[in-house]
Amino acid sequence: MAKDNEKKQGFVEHITPRDVDFSQWYTDIILKSELVDYSPVRGCMVLRPYGFAIWESIKEQMDKRFKETGHENVYMPMLIPESLLLKEAEHVEGFAPEVAWVTHGGNEKLQERLAIRPTSETIFCAMYSKWVSSWRDLPMKYNQWCSVMRWEKSTRPFLRTSEFLWQEGHTIHATPEEAQEETMQMLEVYREVAEDELAMPVIVGQKSEKEKFAGARATYSMEAMMQDGKALQAGTSHNFGTNFAEAFDIQYLNKEGKLTYVHETSWGTSTRLIGAIIMTHGDERGLKLPPHIAPTQVVIVPIAAHKGGVIEKCNEVFSELKGLDLRVKLDDRDTLSPGFKFNDWELKGVPVRVEVGPRDIENGQCVVFRRDTYEKQTVALADLATVLPELLEDIQQNMFRIAADFRQSRIAEAHNMEELEKVVDGGFAKTMWCGERACEDEIKEKLSASSRNMPFDQTPIGDTCVCCGKKADKVIYFAKAY
Amino acid sequence: MAKDNEKKQGFVEHITPRDVDFSQWYTDIILKSELVDYSPVRGCMVLRPYGFAIWESIKEQMDKRFKETGHENVYMPMLIPESLLLKEAEHVEGFAPEVAWVTHGGNEKLQERLAIRPTSETIFCAMYSKWVSSWRDLPMKYNQWCSVMRWEKSTRPFLRTSEFLWQEGHTIHATPEEAQEETMQMLEVYREVAEDELAMPVIVGQKSEKEKFAGARATYSMEAMMQDGKALQAGTSHNFGTNFAEAFDIQYLNKEGKLTYVHETSWGTSTRLIGAIIMTHGDERGLKLPPHIAPTQVVIVPIAAHKGGVIEKCNEVFSELKGLDLRVKLDDRDTLSPGFKFNDWELKGVPVRVEVGPRDIENGQCVVFRRDTYEKQTVALADLATVLPELLEDIQQNMFRIAADFRQSRIAEAHNMEELEKVVDGGFAKTMWCGERACEDEIKEKLSASSRNMPFDQTPIGDTCVCCGKKADKVIYFAKAY
């Protein structure tokens, strides 16, 4: 109750500083800005309205691009019979330890256990093998938005929870070339959403054999750098080749009338992206949302709201901005002070605040505050409609630039284990690697860092492996990771 | 393979006539128009792209109205601990027999069984009790889009499946009046979507004690009539009063500083609505979709597509209609005949077809076919942009009118059991009822009909119960139901 009263009296809720305890800073932000809450179910979180609204924004950006690139949404059953899960050997091995099992329906014990989907390759494959018969049926490019379940030992909201929301694309193609093209196309869609909409620079490239998806021939990822210098894998795109097609017998009659296996891909992003946004952009005042995906882009706060004409003018401004298709909110809560509201919306990361008080109205102006730089400027009310859209775009660009500069300052080359140790203590190391798993294992054990990906630009920065010193021709990033 | 070849050669796939076997007609349509497919998981269906696209249309119409009426979307965990499910006695009794239980996570047996949500009242209540402390926090008006699981013995796609997609709204309020207002408001939102967007007339009213939701103080429903005269409950809205608030201790400090229970509602609609659309509008040629929610409103079919200029003109028309924000598709598949395409799009229920051939182009015109009446008309290409939007609206209205007329022809008053028996054999009976459950049970046993709801217009049509003949003051509908 004490805390509750404090909030009502207008104190700022305390957020642990980033440099004191990054992890506690993260937890403070997600709980205090009411993105999520813990639930009575072990390892499962609740997405509160504000957190879910951010997910809806991201979803809209993704889904639009999926459809533009010819994909269709479907919905597959969430339960997968154990026998189906067992069909592709590597896949089972990867997922079986973290599956939640349904054993009873009503009062009856089931004849076969059912897994709550940890991912849906197997059920998509079962259906594809039923649907495909001729080359005319190809490609099939489907996606689904759903939740998946992975029984995790230790969890953190958005980053690792037993249940999480995601999208999973699953496509089948006639040729290996088409499948590879699809894999690359979707990685590019992910990069575009991350950089252009979430203002989050990413490194795209191929995962090592050790780090690739269970059952894939090749996995590609985008890796973002958080403000503690750790990596966060923000999306993956897999080429399965014919691995699953062979296990599930997905064949088609080609133009020559010959039975042929299809080539398959899958790709996914999840609510993890919200964790990535927080740790890329957040600061001591809380969340900082890129305008393109902020559920509220502009909040209007009346000053001395009881004075004649203030609320009326705020409503006018609200209608005008609404008419521009801006996502705008008028905070007319009458039990809270303007100061409390300022803190509240800064905590929630709203990009722009517009303050309107009696004196402003007299002068035909208002005060505009930008969340990214804390700068205030006075703007004529008549100019708001032109100033705000430009300002929002400027904030979007500025947030990307700041994140890119930060990342640049934390990326360094490492040519031996001593250098590697220094760089991965708060940054990404660009290194040469021989390709042996033993070196990845050794780096993991000694430095707690893992290989992130091999970027597409493979211009060598040396010719010996950072770990074993033998001949190396692979450029690869290592970092500590979420 | 024989069937596959047949399809490729352009034969119409056979649909069982409605009056021969309504149930088989339904199954033929949903499978042949590729809305759904059976899955390897007992009782669970796959929503294929076309079926899912219809759901996305319905969802958009609903979600828009939820937000306009001040609701916010959230996401709650899909697993509910058994102890939580047991808290409200009636609720458990209603749902326990059809729960799917998770007993193992990875290789470990769980200490407590977890239910896959059959509905989410209990988890919403657990969170509300954590979030609410003062009158300032009220109301909370949340909704979630998700799937739920009910272990059904016998299933039919869209109508009754173990897993299905739905939305469930859950709100808490300070006063009984507000909760009742919310319950009615959402019932009205449902009615509006059903009648204005799905072109499906519904009867709204209150459920009997026997038929209400497990744990509700009052349940309201909308009931639609299918073309076999049976009723389909298409949406429900519940007022819980303080039932759940007492079980879950959801209290707030009111303005006088006194701890008070909140008043709660919940309301839901599901993919069942797609089944309702099929059985309200479908005909011998297949599905018939109302333009407002048809994923494709207009399909363009080129005639003699190999002739010079035809595909070019079709592309032109396509771009023009796309520019009008119509949902339009150009069927340029080059291995299929126009005749096959006509049948295919009629099967899929696309409201309008535009045919463009060489002679049409010469005359600056095209042929426009409307799916609802099978009428063809010649339209000048220059007029398409004005004719089509009006035509689509006319089809929407006409479909509603036809459904409403059909329903009117199948509703009759029944004053005794003999009349009731006749009317419920293919229609809705409007009757007087004494209010005793014994009469509902007797009618169910003798006539396989159940009470649907008590309409808000309670103008009596008699004063004795249709079953027991005793004094009755309730107007109520009886029908056989899905």
Chosen for mutation from B35, B50, B74 (greatest number of chain A CBs closer than 10 Å) is: B74
- Nearest residue of B to residue A63, measured between CA atoms: B56
Which B residues, 50 through 89, put their C-beta within 8 Å of a C-beta on chain A?
52-53, 55-56, 72-81, 84
Q: Please give the sequence-ordered ranges of beta strands (E in DSSP) within B175-250, or none if there are none.
A: 202-206, 218-225, 231-241
Cβ within 8 Å, pair A101-B97: no
Contact call for residues A451 and A440 (beta carbons, < 8 A):
yes
Min distance B202 CA to chain A CA atoms (Å): 28
Measured distance CA(A104)–CA(B98) in Å, rounded: 10
If residue A480 lies in a helix (H) or strand (E), which one and from where to where? none
Which tens digits make up the pLDDT trace of A62-74?
A: 999 999 999 999 9
Q: How many CB pairs under 8 A join A and B?
A: 165
Tokens matching residue B135: 């009158």
Q: Are residues A147 and B41, on separate chains, in Cβ contact within 8 Å?
A: no
For residue A132, what is the nearest residue in chain B, using CA coordinates?
Answer: B4
- Residues A462 and A432 sit within 8 Å (Cβ to Cβ): yes
Question: pTM higher than 0.90 for the full model?
Answer: yes
Mutate to test the interface with B, among A75, A78, A93, A103 (most CBs of B within 10 A): A75
Which of A462, A393, A4, A472 has the alpha carbon at shortest distance from A199?
A: A393
The ipTM of this complex is 0.95
In DSSP terms, B101 is beta-bridged to A104, B115
Q: Which residue of B has its CA nearest to A47?
A: B75
Percent of chain B residues topping a pLDDT of 90: 91
Give the minimum alpha-carbon distance from A191 to chain B in angstroms, rounded to a whole number: 26
Using a CB–CB cutoff of 8 Å, tell me whether B7 touches chain A. no
From chain B, pick out residues whose CB is under 8 angstroms from the CB of A99: 105-106
Q: Where are the alpha helices (DSSP H) in B410-461?
A: 417-424, 437-447
Residues 114-133 of B with CB under 8 A from A: 114, 116, 123, 126-127, 130-131, 133
Q: How far is the C-alpha of A404 from the C-alpha of A280, rounded, in Å? A: 10
Q: Residue B229 has what DSSP assignment?
A: S
A40, A46, A102 member nearest B116 (Cβ):
A102
User: Which residues lie across from B86 on neighbouring strands?
Assistant: none
Q: Which two tokens stand for residue B369?
A: 């076919």
d(CA B270, CA B58): 10
Please indicate whether, in this complex, the C-beta atoms of B49 and A73 are within 8 angstroms of each other: yes
Name the residue in chain B with its Cα closest to that of A295.
B72
Residue pair A114/A104 in contact (Cβ under 8 Å)? The answer is no
Of A46, A99, A106, Cβ closest to residue B74: A46
**Orientation of helix B384-409 relative to helix B310-323, angle to 10°:** 70
Task: Let me know: does B79 contact B117? Beta carbons within 8 Å.
Answer: yes
B10-67 residue pLDDT tens: 445 689 999 999 999 999 999 999 999 999 998 999 999 999 999 999 999 999 999 9
Give the residue among A174, A187, A185 at the shortest CA–CA distance from A263. A174
Closest CA to B121 of B98, B148, B102, B100: B148
Q: Measure CB to CB from residue A44 to each of B77, B116, B335 and give the nearest one.
A: B77
What is the rounded distance in angstroms from the CA atom of residue B232 to the CA atom of residue B221?
10
Residue of B nearest to A142 (CA): B49
Within an 8 Å CB–CB cutoff, is residue B255 touching chain A?
Answer: no
**Contact between residue A103 and residue B99 where contact means Cβ atoms under 8 Å apart:** no
- Cβ atoms A230, A479 nearer than 8 A: yes
What pLDDT digit, counting tens, does each position of B90-126 carry? Answer: 888 888 889 999 999 988 999 999 999 999 999 999 9
Q: How far is B416 from chain A (nearest CA, A)?
A: 39
Q: How many helices (H) and strands (E) does chain A have?
A: 15, 24
Whole-number Å distance between alpha carbons of A456 and B396: 53
Looking up tokens 């305008």 gives A291
* Nearest chain A alpha carbon to B43: A77
> Which 257-276 residues of chain B touch chain A by CB within 8 A?
none
Task: Encode pLDDT of B399-423 as tens digits.
Answer: 999 999 999 999 999 999 999 999 9
Instruction: Report DSSP state, residue B471.
Output: B
Contacts of B122 (CB under 8 A, 6+ apart): B80, B84, B85, B87, B88, B91, B248
Whether B48 contacts chain A with CB within 8 A: yes
Q: Where are the domains of chain B?
A: 17-281, 298-391, 411-479
| B354 touches A: beta carbon within 8 Å | no
Interface contact A40-B81, CB threshold 8 A: yes
- DSSP assigned state of B134: B
Instruction: Please list the pLDDT of chain A residue by residue as tens digits (482 residues).
Output: 334 443 444 445 689 999 999 999 999 999 999 999 999 998 999 999 999 999 999 999 999 999 999 999 999 999 999 999 999 888 888 888 899 999 999 889 999 999 999 999 999 999 999 999 999 999 999 999 999 999 988 889 999 999 999 999 999 999 999 999 999 999 999 999 999 999 999 999 999 999 999 889 999 999 999 999 999 999 999 999 999 999 999 999 999 999 999 999 999 999 999 999 999 999 999 999 999 999 999 999 999 999 989 999 999 999 999 999 999 999 999 989 999 999 999 999 999 999 999 999 999 999 999 999 999 999 999 999 999 999 999 999 999 999 999 999 999 999 999 999 999 999 999 999 999 999 999 999 999 999 999 999 999 999 999 999 999 999 999 999 99
Class of domain B298-391: alpha beta
CATH architecture of B411-479: 2-Layer Sandwich (3.30)
For β-strands A45-47 and A36-38, DSSP reports them as antiparallel
User: Cβ–Cβ of A52/B46 closer than 8 Å?
Assistant: no
B5 close to A (CB below 8 A): no
| Class of the domain covering A15-281 | alpha beta
Are B478 and B441 within 8 A, CB to CB? no
* Domain B17-281 in CATH 3.30.930.10: yes
The full DSSP string for B363-424 is TTEEEEEETTT--EEEEEGGGHHHHHHHHHHHHHHHHHHHHHHHHHHTEEE--SHHHHHHHH
**A97/B107 touch (CB, cutoff 8 Å), yes or no:** yes
- Give the SS3 label for residue B342: helix
The arrangement of secondary structure in A298-394, i.e. its CATH architecture, is 3-Layer(aba) Sandwich (3.40)
